[in-house]
Structure 1
Amino acid sequence: MTTTVGLAAIIVAGGASRRMGRDKATHPYEGTTLVEHMVGILKPRCAPVFVVAAPGQALPPLDAEVLRDEVRGVGPLLATGRGLRAAAEAGRELAFVSAVDMPLLRVDLIDQLVGPAVALNADVVLPWDGRDHYLAGIYRTSLADRVDALVRAGQRSMRALVDTVDTQRIVMPEQRSLTNVNTAADLAAIRSLQIA
């Protein structure tokens, strides 16, 4: 059932990347950049694919539609709302929302989340392995208005959205797919995992 469910993808790519010390989206990864790598992972499963970037953020040419945040540095909630609205306008009811820094993501993880999203008609479905992964979940695109209202009220965190809608958490063991790259050391550790 899940592989036939139409699904957009939203890659949140405009973060400040303070711990990395440089823009994560354009950080080199396996002969390309992290953002190109993420588009390559998601493109075979999701259509359309949106990359939400900061105003003026340089990006390589992408096989995805690039959207721009209106303002820089206000957190992922605003970017998620922008992506959800674009996905809704493209005719999608569901979108996989992802951080740009998950180079080990696998499509089978996405399909594990889509099934419950459809069966339970939930607003949000997140993987839970001891913590919430807000930027690795399935979101209803109809939440765009709710996000806008939260942002107008001064909210910036994904938790503000997730805690106010029907959110289902899928309990699973730790997944390599959910690994985020926050520092250069994290990236080096991932590369060594892939070699091993």
Structure 2
Amino acid sequence: MTSSLPLAAVLLAGGASRRMGRDKATLPFDGPNGPTTLVERMVSIVSRRCDPVFVIAAPGQALPELRASVLRDEVRGVGPLLATGRGLRAAADAGFSHAFVCAVDMPELTTEVIETLAGPAQRLGADIVLPWDGRDHYLAGVYRTALHPVIDDLVAAGARSMRALVDAVDTQRIVMPEQAALTNVNTEADLAAIVPPRLH
């Protein structure tokens, strides 16, 4: 079932990627339409359901030309919470009540996952709707854009993790099976193991 809920997307691309040992966003990815990068792959996926797309990048981070609005973190290494707040604020300013927030390292994400979360987000009025497959996927959820002041307060109090936000507001979890669409690529081996998927 599809949802009529308009969604922006907030794509977090500026993480330190310590396990990968290099910037994940520009990792080469052999996509279904030929060679690309992880960030281009992710923009192509989320833009099929979400418009506009806001990519949150680190200061000075080199990115390819993207069909998205690129916003820069002011400082490096402060975690995903601050970047999420920046993206939610931009989405709110663009007139959207909800945004799909995701990490740059999920190249097998599908629009079906986004749609599965959009329906409950529209019906339940929750602040956050997350997929749950035995664990929370904080960076693959639908967030109310009005949460950005809450994030500002949490960051000011020293919080850095997404869990701090999730625990502070009305969060609903949608049970899903374990699946490739919710898998993060953390190493070169993870990336090499992916069979180039079709866009759904």
| Range into which the TM-score falls when normalised by the shorter chain | over 0.9
Q: What is the TM-score with the length of structure 2 in the denominator?
A: 0.94
Report the secondary structure of 2:112's partner residue: helix
Residues 141-180 of structure 1 correspond to what in structure 2 (within 5 A)? Answer: 141-180=145-184
**Where does the alignment leave 5 or more consecutive residues of structure 2 unmatched?**
none
Report the secondary structure of 1:190's partner residue: coil
Q: Does 1:53 find its partner at 2:62?
A: no
Residues 36-185 of structure 1 correspond to what in structure 2 (within 5 A)? Answer: 36-185=40-189
In structure 1, the residue matched to 2:16 is 16
Deviations 1:143-170 (A, max 9, x none): 0000011111110000000000000000
Aligned residues: 194
Report the secondary structure of 2:194's partner residue: helix
Q: Which moved more, 1:33-42 or 1:1-10?
A: 1-10
**1:113, distance to aligned residue in structure 2 (A):** 0.4
Deviations 1:78-112 (A, max 9, x none): 00000000000000000000000000000011010
| Same amino acid, percent of matched pairs | 72
CA distance in 1, matches of 2:125, 2:3: 17
CA distance in 2, matches of 1:167, 1:126: 7
**1:70, distance to aligned residue in structure 2 (A):** 1.1
CA distance in 2, matches of 1:40, 1:149: 33
**Where does the alignment leave 5 or more consecutive residues of structure 1 unmatched?**
none
Q: What is the TM-score with the length of structure 1 in the denominator?
A: 0.96
**1:4, distance to aligned residue in structure 2 (A):** 2.1
Query: RMSD across aligned C-alpha pairs, in angstroms?
Result: 1.3
Report the secondary structure of 1:50's partner residue: strand
**1:3, distance to aligned residue in structure 2 (A):** 3.6
Structure 1 segments of 4 or more deviating over 4 A? Answer: none
